[in-house]
Amino acid sequence: MLRIYAGHNGRFATIENFDRPEASEAVWLDLLDASSEDVKRVETHLKIAIPTRDEMAEIELSDRLYNEDGAEFMTMTAITDVEGDDPVKSPITFILKGQTLVTVRHVDSKPFVQYMAKVQRGTAGQCASGEAIMIGVIEAIIDRIADTLERIGDEADAISREVFRNKSENATKKTHDLQSLIEQIGLKGDLLTKVRESLISITRLAAYHSAVEISRLSSETAKRKSKKDIREHIKLIQRDAASLADHAIFLSGKINFLLDATLGLINLQQNQIIKIFSVAAVVFLPPTLVASIYGMNFDVMPELHWTLGYPWALGLMALSAIVPYWFFKRRGWL
């Protein structure tokens, strides 16, 4: 799908195709899972080569941030479906050529929708240039990441309460609860990893674009003033991305601590069960020995015809079980 937008009085005006006269004023060409025909139309219009999906997935910095055919190509990693159990990483490429922005993406994401809504409400700042649009979209992505980190933090606190305040007396139920928590912790850790990767890509993109703008900046005062707001926004994006990355590292440490604590509690429960079996085996070993001795069928046994032999054997077995139990209890092993 190809969407063509022109900035008009601080709002977006949709252009149907490149054949219309107002297409020359287009500031944003949005390629969302576009067909090869739409991609060729944009390439012909701007005289650039749009990277393929495989090329966008490359992790080398030189394949993600580069200049070609007079255009600036910048690819970042975005996350979609953050509310679901399986968030998806998807690369987004921003292409700046002159005043026109081209966005290449294969999965729809809410920050784009939120940015569009802000522009239509007149609360998203300027949208008269492709650079301003790119910065607005990235800011929307950062806001989305911040909300995701806040949600992960709240959910981590809830998991912490479940781990350390689980009062279930049923050992089996408690173990199942802890195993379920491990699955939740794993999902949060996986999401945090993807968030940190996205933040790193945003930081690199902002640093690269800032360096390119500095190299392009001439000594003309008017041009400096026109770029001042853009540069301030870029610095703000870098600061926000860095602070969110630090917060993501903190949450990762908390998630790892909860994982270690949960595994430790499961090990303690298993050790407690093994200890109970071990103590039971030791407690019942002396009565078993006594029963084995008096169960032998020898002709000459002093207690064989003794009237009190049976009560004596039972009492001796009971005493041999009670004494080890009392000893373990006194030593605090039970």
**DSSP classification of residue 85:** S
Question: Is the pLDDT confidence value at 79 over 70?
Answer: yes
Angle, CA 281 vertex, CA 276 and CA 286 arms, to 5°: 135
Q: pLDDT tens for residues 289-323?
A: 888 888 887 777 777 778 788 888 888 888 888 88
Confidence (pLDDT) at 75: 92
Region for residue 74 given its phi and psi (left: phi exceeds 0; alpha: psi -120 to 50; beta: otherwise)? beta
User: Do residues 178 and 166 make contact, with C-beta atoms less than 8 angstroms apart?
Assistant: yes
- The letter for the amino acid at 198 is S
Confidence (pLDDT) at 94: 92
Length of the chain in terms of residues written: 334
Q: pLDDT tens for residues 208-249?
A: 888 887 766 554 444 555 566 677 778 888 888 888 889 989
Confidence (pLDDT) at 173: 66
Q: What is the mean pLDDT of the chain?
A: 81
Query: Residue 44 belongs to what H/E stretch?
Result: helix 36-46
> Across-strand partners of 29?
4, 102
pTM for the model:
0.75
Confidence (pLDDT) at 38: 86
Q: Going from the N-terminus, what domains does the chain have, and what CATH number goes with each?
A: 2-270 (3.30.460.20), 271-330 (1.20.58.340)
> What is the β-pairing status of strands 11-15 and 2-8?
antiparallel
For 250, the token pair is 């903190």
